[in-house]
Structure 1
Amino acid sequence: MRKQHVITISGAGSARVPALVGTLVNYKERFPLSKIIFYDIDKDRMGLMEAYNRLVLKCRYPKCQVVFTTDEEEAYRNTDFIFCQMRVGKTSMRSLDEKIPLRYGLVGQETCGPGGFAYGMRSLGAMKQMVEKVRSYSKDTWILNYTNPAAIVALGLDRMFPDDKHILNLCDQPFSLMKSYSKILEVPQERLRARYFGLNHFGWFTELKDTDGKDYFNALRSYLKNHDFKPFNAEQRSKSWLDTYVRVNKYMKLLDEYIPTTYMQYYMFPEEIVAESDPNYTRAEESRDSREKDVFDICARAVGKDNMDGLDMLTNSVFGNLMVEVAESIAYDLNNEFIVMVKNRGIIDNFEPEAIIEVAGTIGKEGAMGYPYGTIKPFYKGLMEGQYAYELLTVEAFMEEDYTKALMALTLNRTVVDPSKAKAVLDDLMAANKDYWILR
């Protein structure tokens, strides 16, 4: 049997946690655990799911010790892996991130544009504090960071902790897209291998083959130009998410060389997205009233029960699988293939060496290693240079509390461009976030 581990789920008040618990149960032979520590600063929200999480683990993983805590020392002192998924400011701040930009005719989205900037500034402060606390106890604990916006957080952590080799930043969007491609092509996901480059939420697939070398890329391109693109779990997605995928079709009819990540829609079609947005009801409320409500309703049914009769075990085949498979690959030095976030340093030979890029690669006991990509073409390089400059200026604005750099960052962002709008939205976001970050 493989060595057992202790993990901490940091941000255990997330509605994603019950499904993550289900995934941990399903993977207990591959990634066995002796203890799971659930940690959150919001005891009440974490408590909404505690009965369910305890019940699932009691019934399906009885040998695994379970701890719920709001104490940082208990959460971080003796743990091997931290699965980190903070949402600083919770849904109320996400709602403002999405609504404030819409006042100025700008994209209101939680990871892209001005909303992503504000969220990133909040996340950087919380992540800095967390890493410092964890490292006060252990230099070797792996921090698997799922906190968004991953591009800004990854770059910021690299700048603040340049010598820390046990922080790994993750995003499930490429993993999810590969699952959707698998369904379209009718090829098992584990047999597909991609060539990919970009920044997080800002990249392109450039090859897709199976493990036997059969090329599926042109077949997939053709499909996406002539059929509506739907995620593998379309029946579980809201209309706004389905629209996100369909815009890949629109992009492909204009620029069909490579296949973009779905987040490119915000940078390519911002006016269209703003026109379709409801300034009073954004994805924050949509998520609260659908996915979160469903999770909390299921969890409430676990209160007082001592068995799983009539109660489904939630799982997540994207977020949960990715987190656990990455931990497994590190723990047992498997060097399995993923699309990874790594410092460039020549992987893309004509791009900024210090940038945190996203490429195909492997993960093992030494962390993530990206496959060499080579040279990227001027169109993609130009787009990435502007986006990277935005990300870097955002990180520097946070670290230096520099208003001018924040204004420059937003002006560079393709969803904004107009410096007068950048200033107006920045001032509003700064006022709304005064309890989380300041600029001078």
Structure 2
Amino acid sequence: MKEFSIVIAGGGSTYTPGIVMMLLDNLDRFPIKTLKLYDNDAERQAVLGEAIEIVLKEKAPQIEYLYTTDPEVAFTDVDFCFAHIRTGKFKMRELDEKIPLKHGVVGQETCGPGGIAYGMRSIRDMIELIDFMEKYSPDCWMLNYSNPAAIVAEACRVLRPNSKVLNICDMPVGTLRRMSQIIGLTPKDLEVRYFGLNHFGWWTSVKDKAGNEYLPQIRDYVAEHGYLTQVEVDTQHMDQSWQETHKKAKDLLAVDPRFLPNTYLKYYFYPDYVVEHSNPEYTRANEVINGREKDVFSTARTIIEKGTSKGSEFSIGSHATFIVDLACAIAFNTHERMIMIVENNGAIANFDDDAMVEVPCIVGSDGPEPLAQGKIPEFQRALMYQQVTVEKLVVQAYIEGSYQKLWQALTLSKTVPSAKVAKEILNDLIEANKEYWPELK
């Protein structure tokens, strides 16, 4: 079986060790020859890079390994780039969340003003990564799961339309795991129909391989408990704020009980509730800084200190097995069925062809082929059109350096109450993002 060379872009991310552990757990189906970490923050990456080196020596010494800040070293002779970058790191995420809250508006890293700010920061770095990849390994595929995925995917569509970039999000995977727990099956047992945009969609069918439909059963459960389950094995979405989000799904379902909602719809359907239940001094960013960030780096430092990972292991990012599924689908033409972010081109019959939508796809060595989801109802279509226009305006604002278009994007977001508030937030975000955003005129 062919062995693959991989670069993880965002080597200093708190998710990197979990992804490396998950890759080691899947070597039987996705053998690795070379693993590289790449980051533009040498100091941060070095801590994780050194600890991961110790882990690999113990668990898979045959894998060639290095970590680097040199793009030529990182991207030469690689088959896959796994990209999960965070431009501005947690310092900027904190501002993305706290600036809107100061104005009484949802503060969230991918939805509303925070997502728009993060998107404006991410575009330049994502395009730079694609260009490095194409320069040094023209046959390489990028598996991109960097947030905010919707804006990043739209930027890739406009700025690098022919690049081998696959945009995917772990949220549908995580929610499907919860659905499978509700009915006592595993995610691999299930085939779903789903339509929407990233962090903005609905499941219309959840069947097992024999064709039995479980949507009514799951719907009854969610109407009472949300997506909270008794079997709490989802290590990624376990913090208190996530538990509240899973619970809130019952109120999202009530808006249209025909379909199972993506939990992120909470920010668009109940922004007032979200703001009331937010602490403007301590947001999700602080939760992550004091939780996952601290835990991962403290484990890394312990491993380095002891010179061994025995007794202080990184936990496996089990939620991230979808990354291996996707890589295998490309590498071995497995025709895996996965929910991905792709250009619509008729997958949703009554929606714009050039919209980046999130739908089930069959993935083989030529990339994803979207499955037709038919026509969608007016309510969902109108919501999606509003949101996809926000995402398009953000990318246009970035390319044109247009203050006007970014103001329009914020004004159009369902999380923002008025053009006046949108302008106030925008001015604060411009000030905070001076070293990251293009100059807006």
The TM-score range, normalised by the shorter chain, is over 0.9
Q: Which residue of 1 aligns with 2:188?
A: 190
Q: 1:47, CA displacement in angstroms?
A: 1.6
User: Whole-Å Cα distance in 2 between the matches of residues 81 and 133 of structure 1?
Assistant: 13
User: Whole-Å Cα distance in 2 between the matches of residues 268 and 96 of structure 1?
Assistant: 23
Give yes or no for contact 2:155–2:395 (8 Å, CA) kept in 1.
yes
Give yes or no for contact 1:341–1:368 (8 Å, CA) kept in 2.
no
Q: Does 1:325 align with 2:334?
A: no
Q: 1:311, CA displacement in angstroms?
A: 2.4
- Report the residue type matching 2:201 in the other structure: G
Give yes or no for contact 1:6–1:81 (8 Å, CA) kept in 2.
yes
Structure 1 gap segments, 5+ residues each? none
Deviations 1:304-357 (A, max 9, x none): 445443122420111x21112211111111111111111111111110000110
Give yes or no for contact 1:340–1:362 (8 Å, CA) kept in 2.
no
Q: Which residue of 2 aligns with 1:124?
A: 123
State the secondary structure of the residue aligned to 1:225: helix
Work out which of the residue numbers 203, 209, 212 in structure 2 matches 1:211.
Answer: 209
Q: Which residue of 1 aligns with 2:262?
A: 261
User: Whole-Å Cα distance in 1 between the matches of residues 227 and 377 of structure 2?
Assistant: 26
Q: Which residue of 2 aligns with 1:302?
A: 303
Q: 1:369, CA displacement in angstroms?
A: 1.2
Cα distance change of structure 1 residues 337 and 87 upon mapping to structure 2, 3 Å threshold? same
User: Whole-Å Cα distance in 2 between the matches of residues 7 and 154 of structure 1?
Assistant: 21
In the TM superposition, 1:245-284 aligns within 5 A as: 245-284=246-285
Q: Which residue of 1 aligns with 2:2?
A: 3
Give yes or no for contact 2:11–2:49 (8 Å, CA) kept in 1.
no
In the TM superposition, 1:7-406 aligns within 5 A as: 7-164=6-163, 166-230=164-228, 232-233=232-233, 237-318=238-319, 320-406=320-406
Q: Does 1:407 align with 2:407?
A: yes
- Report the residue type matching 1:366 in the other structure: D
Give yes or no for contact 1:340–1:369 (8 Å, CA) kept in 2.
no
- Report the residue type matching 1:179 in the other structure: R
Deviations 1:30-77 (A, max 9, x none): 110111011111111112212321122111111101111111110112
Structure 2 gap segments, 5+ residues each? none
Root-mean-square deviation over aligned CA pairs? 1.3
User: Whole-Å Cα distance in 1 between the matches of residues 358 and 98 of structure 2?
Assistant: 29
Deviations 1:281-306 (A, max 9, x none): 11111101011111112111111445
State the secondary structure of the residue aligned to 1:263: helix
Q: 1:227, CA displacement in angstroms?
A: 2.2
Cα distance change of structure 1 residues 243 and 102 upon mapping to structure 2, 3 Å threshold? same
Q: 1:228, CA displacement in angstroms?
A: 4.1
State the secondary structure of the residue aligned to 1:301: helix
Question: Which shows bigger deviation, 141-150 or 221-230?
Answer: 221-230
Question: Which shows bigger deviation, 155-164 or 199-208?
Answer: 155-164
Give yes or no for contact 1:196–1:204 (8 Å, CA) kept in 2.
yes
User: Whole-Å Cα distance in 1 between the matches of residues 9 and 210 of structure 2?
Assistant: 39
User: Whole-Å Cα distance in 2 between the matches of residues 135 and 187 of structure 1?
Assistant: 41
State the secondary structure of the residue aligned to 2:2: coil
User: Whole-Å Cα distance in 2 between the matches of residues 103 and 304 of structure 1?
Assistant: 42
Q: 1:138, CA displacement in angstroms?
A: 3.0
User: Whole-Å Cα distance in 2 between the matches of residues 138 and 159 of structure 1?
Assistant: 22
Cα distance change of structure 1 residues 184 and 108 upon mapping to structure 2, 3 Å threshold? same
Q: 1:170, CA displacement in angstroms?
A: 1.2
Give yes or no for contact 1:8–1:82 (8 Å, CA) kept in 2.
yes
Deviations 1:239-264 (A, max 9, x none): 11111111101122342111110100
State the secondary structure of the residue aligned to 1:143: strand
Give yes or no for contact 1:145–1:167 (8 Å, CA) kept in 2.
yes
Deviations 1:94-152 (A, max 9, x none): 00000000111000000000000000000011111221222222321111111110000
Give yes or no for contact 1:204–1:259 (8 Å, CA) kept in 2.
yes
Q: 1:229, CA displacement in angstroms?
A: 2.4
- Report the residue type matching 2:103 in the other structure: Y
User: Whole-Å Cα distance in 2 between the matches of residues 249 and 102 of structure 1?
Assistant: 24
Identity across matched positions, percent: 39
Give yes or no for contact 2:179–2:227 (8 Å, CA) kept in 1.
no
Question: Which shows bigger deviation, 8-17 or 227-236?
Answer: 227-236
Deviations 1:189-235 (A, max 9, x none): 11101000000000000100000111101000011112242264368
- Report the residue type matching 2:373 in the other structure: Y
User: Whole-Å Cα distance in 2 between the matches of residues 431 and 308 of structure 1?
Assistant: 43
Q: Does 1:432 align with 2:426?
A: no
Cα distance change of structure 1 residues 64 and 399 upon mapping to structure 2, 3 Å threshold? same
User: Whole-Å Cα distance in 1 between the matches of residues 353 and 105 of structure 2?
Assistant: 31
State the secondary structure of the residue aligned to 1:203: strand
- Report the residue type matching 2:227 in the other structure: F
Give yes or no for contact 1:410–1:417 (8 Å, CA) kept in 2.
no
